[in-house]
Structure 1
Amino acid sequence: MTRPVTVVTGGSRGIGAAVCLRLAADGHDVALGYVRDAGAAETVAEGVRAAGGRCVAVRMDTSVAADVDRLFDTAEDRLGPVTGLVNNAGVTGPLGRLADTDTAVLRRVVDVNVLGALLCARRAARLMTPRGTGVIVNVSSAAATLGSPGEYVHYAATKAAVDALTVGLAKELGPDGIRVTAVAPGTTDTDIHAAMGAPDRAHQAAPRIPLRRPGQPEEIAAAVSWLMSPDASYTTGTVLRVAGGM
């Protein structure tokens, strides 16, 4: 059987890297989009290949339409027809109150988390609709419903937009045979916390989480893989919360 070909954005680290490796283990070939760290991207690509999958890594920025087209074009040229998209790339900016957040940070968070997700979903829809099949999984956040006051209200707002995208696009593309879902992780133990200026944040949050620990990237990846699988064939328009009870 032909292996599914899945595009994963933000695939060089954290949840994205775990998704790439899990999908490869579950039979996918992977086109990995990354924005900066070529070495990390190649390490993930090697892991995909070790798991039996083919992989191409493409340096790109999801907020740039030409870059998105290049990622999908490379996937189609090198791996075959794209059957899936994991819209994972996202940024938070530094922790802080909205009143203290720089306009450039707000613009970048919206550009990557909302515009980037829209551009990638649009390209996937254009490819999948004529074929009558496909799966899109967006990576949202529990922040979309919690609001994240005092930390990153702006990030939470963009993830609420991702939830709306998921629901609306699922209804739009359902008649074309395309499923659209999302995973909403809670606090997860990745290096994104260091990037926002609080490297110990995931473990400091543990007492507030009903399961009393942060999630692991592999736990989020397992949910993504299930949503992309035939076992989820009647699941669309849903946001699956993987947040330890938050």
Structure 2
Amino acid sequence: MDWQRSLWKMAACIGILILGISVFSNIETLFPWERGLPDVFNMLFIESSLLAFSAPAFLVILFFVLTPLFQPLRIVRFQKRETLAWTVFRTVFFTVLIYLAAYFTFGFLFAWLKTGSLQNTWATKEGTPYLLYKDEIDLSLFATPYMILRYGLTEFSAFLFLGLAAAFLYLLSDRYIYAFFLVVGFLIFDFALHSLFMISLFLNKAAVRLGTWGDGKDLLGIVLYFFGLSVVLMIGIFILLLRKDFLSRSGKKE
């Protein structure tokens, strides 16, 4: 990869991240962090946080681990395209896993710094759900094991879909910068679609907040939705890898 010609592309991506961080830092004082850890996570995984920071940051990180796989000198090392396909899938899988582990760790540290405690207040009458809905809400839905499952499965399946979508579009366009802006553009479109017509293909399903909490059936539906889309993308990536002539793009830049 010619890093000199790729600098402007990375600068654009980093610029979006800086914008997201700036927006987040300006609005973070508006939220009730002092109530506890769940309130912090509630704001870290809302639609605007996914759109402005966590999703673009993930796509930038994916750039550094995905694009080297398709360098011509590395392509020839794979005797079969099937092996390359599974390498792509594993790369996306572990990138999602590591990124979310780091993001969750950041959430715990941020919550501890803001509140001085890691207690799950949402499962008690002192938490935000009970303060808002009183006896109308079932506090057992906010038990710690289910909260971990809710955040973990939802975000993993959602970011796996994003990673595979970026990989598919990258193979289709031969330019990761195109894939990046197409995915971010899709997220912006989805945000606008939900704001105007209450229809969402990604953000509203990927967001984990009090207003979209739901029970086990809702969680299963969301996970199956994203994994179903991911399977379709994996099939698409596999077909593209079988048909693509990588030697003809050896002179192209990422």
- Class of the TM-score when normalised by the shorter of the 2 chains: 0.3 to 0.5
Greater relative contact order, per chain length (Cα 8 Å cut-off, separation 6+)? 2
Task: Tell me the TM-score normalized by structure 2.
Answer: 0.34
Between structure 1 and structure 2, the one with the greater Rg is: 2
Q: Which of the pair is proportionally richer in helix? A: 2
